[in-house]
Each structure stands twice: as structure tokens, then as C-alpha cells.
Structure 1
Amino acid sequence: MRRNTFLQSLTALAVAGALPLTARAGGNFKLMLPANPGGGWDTTGRALGKALQDAKVADTVTYDNKGGAAGAIGLAQFVNSAKGDPNALMVMGAVMLGGIITGKPPVSLSQATPLARLTSEYNVFVLPANSPLKTMADVVAQLKKDPGSVKWGGGSRGSTEHIAAAMIAQKVGVDPARINYVAFRGGGEATAAILGGNVTVGGSGYSEFAEYIAAGKMRAIAVTSGERLPGIDVPTLKEQGIGVEIGNWRGVYGAPGITAAQRQALIDGIVAALKSPSWAESLKKNDWTPAVLTGDAFGKFVDEEFASLRDTMTRAGMVS
């Protein structure tokens, strides 16, 4: 939808009384980023906020970083404080589903309103540049010898890199319950731990480690995609004889209790933002793959992902 058409649609809704003043284009948006600064949700949320302004959907965007528990702390604050707010948004993704499954928080994602899936990204596993281990084969050999001696560093418990580590262990004949996984509240903390040699191997979205890989400070040893990522010379796990493929997607939710008209206005605004030059620049800069899915179709996708992820994590011994 062209921006002028989008703005005209919002105006018509407002005149008809279907759209409250606060949900019109050019409002003041509040964006919950349920992670510490420096990670994928933080980067995604700020890129989305910039795109909303670029597309003239929002006049201003304020950000609230609330890390911990794979996003559950931020989710709880969002659910409890943003009810009925048509300009409140929250970034989320596959990591939050895993965290909810393992952490069983008192709030539910179903209390918020699904709006849109934005991107998909595969993880990369890296070693500190000065590590005595050089390849994924070295990591696997050490894992088989002494599972606890291999410290896997990444996002919160239940993150895609945590799940991938458990799946790798299972595939190579190691009890996934014996992996030594070190969870961090945000991408910045995980990066610092890897660079400092405080973990054996680190995992995250490729974009979060790209500059350190390019600078020779980290050695990329595997990606979790089915095929090599375009322009990135890093072998897949499958190439190395480990049958693991897992992706990370990110999306955005609205507040609990908003009306159908308010929800549609937000979806239309997000779609407009995703067509902006600002968002195109963010996709290119961060090596994100567009994966747009909106409304009820997105809600159904989340429900199916939740069920599939719970099954995978249970079979991997991560939850009972």
C-alpha cells in the first residue's frame, strides 16, 4: 500500500469513529525491547522504530529495554502496563517462545496481540580467535571427551542457540542434559564473554558477530542454515555431518485489549514501514532475510512454532 493511500485510510477510519486519535498516523509510539542493548531484538526494534518514522507512521518512538528470562520480564511489563494502548509495540521472536517453554513465566504471550513477523536469521557458532580449538570437529571431540568442559555461550535459556547446542549434542551422541550452557541477558554481554575467552564457543545471529569475524577477533565455525548463507564462507552444520538446521525469526506484537480496528491500523503502519528506504537499509546492513507475515496468519504461525519447539526441546531433554 502506498503511503498516501495508507494515510487516507487512517483518516477515513478516524472520521468514521473506528480509529481513536492515538492510533492515527503520526502518533507517539512506545516500543518494548525485552532484552539488553546490543542484541538482535534491540537492533530490530530500533530499526523498526526508525522505519516507522521514515514512513511517517510515527512522529516519535521511545524505547524501553527490559532484559532477562528470554524476554519474559519485558513481556510481563508490556502485558501489565500497556493494556489497551494502540501505540504500544513489543519486539519478540523464536527466543521468547523457547524461554516461555523452559521458564514457565506467570504471563502468557497470548495475552498480547500478534501483529507481524518481520525477519528470519540463522545462527553462527564462533570461537574466540585465540582458542586452541579451530573447528566444529574440535568442539565435538572435546564435547564427547568431557561435555561439561565445553562452555556454550549465547542468549537466554531456551534461545535458538541454546536449542541448537542441545541438538548438536544429541546428534553426536552426547546427552543434551549434560551440556554446559551459559546464558546471557543480551548480545553485548555474550560478545564480551566470547572475546574475553570466558566461554568455549558462542552462538548468535550472524549480524551480531559479523564485525568481529571480519576483524579476526572471532572464528566462525558453523551456521545453522540448510545451505551456506549468501556471501558468507562458513560451512553449515549439515556439511560437517551434524544434521541440525534451526532458524531464528523476529516479530512484533501489540498491546493486550486493543480493538480490531486499532490492530489493523498498526499492521498497516508496520507494512508501510517495511517498505521504507530505512528498513531496506537495515535488512542489507544486518543480513536479515525478509519474512513478512501479518495478522491472524502470524498468530497461527506462532502457535504452531510454539508446539513444534516444545516437542523439539522435550525430545532434546531440555524440558520435562
Structure 2
Amino acid sequence: MNKFLILSALCVLGTAHAEYRILAPSTAGGGYDTLARNVATTLERTKLAPGSTVYNVPGEGGVTGLRGFTSGQRGKANQLVVFGLTTIASMQLSKDSPVSLKDLTPVARLVNDYEVLVVPSTSPYRSLADLIAAYKSNPGLRFGGASVGSAGHLFTGDVLRAGGGNIRTLKWVPSSGNLQGLKALMNGELDVVSSSYGVAEPEIKAGRVRALALSAPEAVAGIAVPTARSQGVDAELVNWRGIFAPAGLSGEARTRLNGTFSRMALSGDWRALLFAEKQNSFFQPGAPFTVFLTREELRVQGLLRELGLTN
């Protein structure tokens, strides 16, 4: 009987309740915004939290929005924010009122994305080994993609470091996004770009760029690009994104959030939205997500330091 009551209580905690207000710390149409709106749409369709809304506060790779989110929101379980790897780096790069993961409650990791290193189709670099050898002999090669400290910047640094290069000499030319970086590559303004695979895929399939390495830890179904590891370079990077609440939540509130987002991630509505946008679902609930974040934060710290971006 006691076991039945406990299971019933957990089911109640995971069912629909008051709507959420979800922060996307990016401009409308960006990766964080898309994820936040997919979450709100799924919560509406599944009736887990109908009426949930999304708002945008862009700036500093997510730090501007987080700064406001963590101020005065402690313990408010209906306030949520989505962000990922790039914002972990941005937190460490920001010297103006830095925000810490200690100010947040990890709720769930929701999606994974992968970077791909590409060169123009006319480039002399036909493999990752060619590129690494060229960098060692000519550190002035122009690499680029999104912002300084972005997933692409980190993956590029990790690849060149694993290949024996000095990444403090890496010349990174930032763009406002992956698409702009690819345009610069095809205009001859860059030699190499690291982009999210989804953005680069049309150019790869059209033969306008050559893909040298995928950042995934192992081969990914449907992506005909070799990983760095499969080419003998011990480098990988997952551009993950997740959802967080403010710090200071009660145990009951954390249990309710875990139940809600477990159900959301298992729903057909969620899977259909991600499939339509070629996003990779990866659900990791709060406790293991917290452990992952501790390791990830240390890894990013080390890469930023080796790139000469932090002390």
C-alpha cells in the first residue's frame, strides 16, 4: 500500500500544473529560441503545462539574459531558461557580473548537436590530417564560425590541440552565426569553418564545401562525415542544450519538474518537432545532468585557458 501511495504521489507531481515562463537568452529565431518554443509547444500539445510562454533577452552569448534571470528569481519553479555549451563558455569569458551554474537548478539536458569542420571544395586540404599538418606549418590559417568561445571555436581548438598544434596561435575570425561563417568561407575570406552540421549540410550535399571531420564521439546515422576520432585525432564535442530553473527550489518542485520534462521528452509531439528540424533528442534528467555539467565546466575552462582566452 505504501509503495502504491508513493508512486501515485510521483505521478501527481509530474502532471500538468501552472504554465511556465521560459527565457530564450538569444534573438528570435536562434538556436535557444527555437528550443524554447519547441518546449512551450510540446507542453501545450501534451497538456503538461498549457499556456507556457517564451521571451527573449539576447546578448553576450546568453549571459545578459541569465544575469536578469538569476536576479530575484530564487525558488520560483515556474521560471525556466534554456541554454547550452556556448553559454557555459560565455559565463567564463564574461567579466561583468559573471553568472554561475550555482545560481541555477539543472532540470534536463534535451538535445545534442554536432560541429563539422569544412573547407571550400577547391581547398587543397582533403583530410583532417592535411589540415592539421598545414596548421602546424602555417598557424596563420584563417579559421572561423560563430562567436569567440562558441562550440565551433572550442571544437577547432580541441582538434588542433589533439593533433599536436599550439592552439594559442589559432586565428579565429568570428561571425554573427554559422551561416554567416559559411558565407565568408565561400567568399574566400576564411580557410576553414566549424559550423553546426545542420547549417552546413546543404552546402556539403551540394558539393560547395568539403567536410573534414564531425565532432561526435562516434559515427552518427545519416551523417556521412567521419568523426575526428575515427581519423586518429582524440577530439570530440557535443553542442548540447538543456533547460534550467533558478536555484533554491524545494524537493517537491524539483520532483515535479523532473516528472513534467520526462513525460515531455518521451512524447511523440516532442520527437516529431525535433525530427522535423533535424535535432538530436538526448534526454538526461536533473541528477545525471548536474554531474555532466560539473565535468563539462572544467573541460571548457581548460580549453579556454589553452586558447589564451582566460587566465
When normalised by structure 2's length, the TM-score is: 0.82
Instruction: Work out the CA distance in 2 between the residues paired with 1:188 and 1:68.
Output: 19
Kept in 2: contact 1:153–1:199 (CA 8 A): no
Shift of 1:38: 4.3
Any residues of structure 2 matched to 1:34-45 within 5 Å, and which? 34-45=25-36
Tell me if structure 2 keeps the 8 A contact 1:83–1:256. Answer: yes
- The 3 A distance-change label for structure 1 pair 192 and 61 is farther
Between 169-178 and 133-142, report the one with greater CA deviation.
133-142
Going from structure 1 to structure 2, the CA distance change for 1:275 and 1:62 (only over 3 Å counts) comes to: same
Q: Any conservation in 2 of the 1:123–1:206 contact (CA below 8 Å)?
A: yes
What is residue 111 of structure 2 aligned with on the other side? 119
1:182-204 CA distance string (max 9 Å, x none) = 33454454455455554332223
The more displaced of 113-122 and 28-37 is: 28-37
Match of 2:70 among 46, 67, 79: 79
Q: In the alignment, which residue of structure 1 is the partner of 2:145?
A: 153
Distance 1:184 1:58, change over 3 A: farther
**What root-mean-square deviation, in Å, do the aligned CA atoms of Structure 1 and Structure 2 show?**
3.1
SS of the aligned residue for 1:115 comes to strand
Q: Is the 8 A contact 1:35 1:185 kept in 2?
A: no
How many residues are treated as equivalent by the alignment? 303
Equivalent-residue separation in structure 2 for 1:63 and 1:129 (angstroms): 40
Counterpart position of 2:136: 144
Checking the alignment, whether the CA contact within 8 Å between 2:132 and 2:165 is kept in structure 1 is no
Give the structure 1 partner of residue 173 of structure 2. 182
Matches within 5 A, 1:90-129: 90-106=81-97, 107-128=99-120
Q: What does the per-residue CA deviation read over 1:159-214, in whole Å, with 9 as the maximum and x for residues that have no partner?
A: 33212211222234432111111334544544554555543322233223333433
The counterpart of 1:9, out of the listed 5, 9, 12, is 12
Query: Which region of structure 1 is more displaced relative to structure 2, 283-292 or 26-35?
Result: 283-292
**Given the two structures, how large is their TM-score scaled by the length of structure 1?**
0.80
- Give structure 2 stretches of 5+ with no counterpart: 1-7
Q: Could you say which residue in structure 1 is the equivalent of 2:287?
A: 296
Partner of 2:195: 204
Bigger shift: 191-200 or 179-188? 191-200
Letter in 2 for 1:127: V
Distance 1:33 1:189 in 2: 21
Residues 239, 114 of structure 1: alpha-carbon distance in 2 compared, 3 angstrom cutoff = closer
Q: 1:229-286 deviations in whole A, cap 9, x for unaligned?
A: 2121112223444332222222110124443322322222111111221211234344
1:254–1:263 CA contact under 8 A, matched in 2: no
- What is the identity, as a one-letter code, of the residue corresponding to 2:12? S
Cα distance in 2 for partners of 1:164, 1:136 equals: 13
Structure 1 unmatched ranges of 5 or more: 12-23
C-alpha distance in 2 between matches for 1:82 and 1:217:
47
Aligned to 2:300: 309
CA distance in 2, matches of 1:310, 1:271: 30
Structure 2 counterparts to residues 276-287 of structure 1, below 5 A? 276-287=267-278
CA gap 1:56/1:192 in 2 versus in 1, 3 angstroms:
farther
Q: 1:66 and 2:60 equivalent?
A: no
Q: Contact 1:124/1:221 (CA < 8 Å) preserved in 2?
A: yes
Q: Distance in 1 between matches of 2:227 and 2:101?
A: 32
State how far apart, in whole Å, the 1-side matches of 2:38 and 2:85 are.
18
Q: Identity of aligned pairs, percent?
A: 29
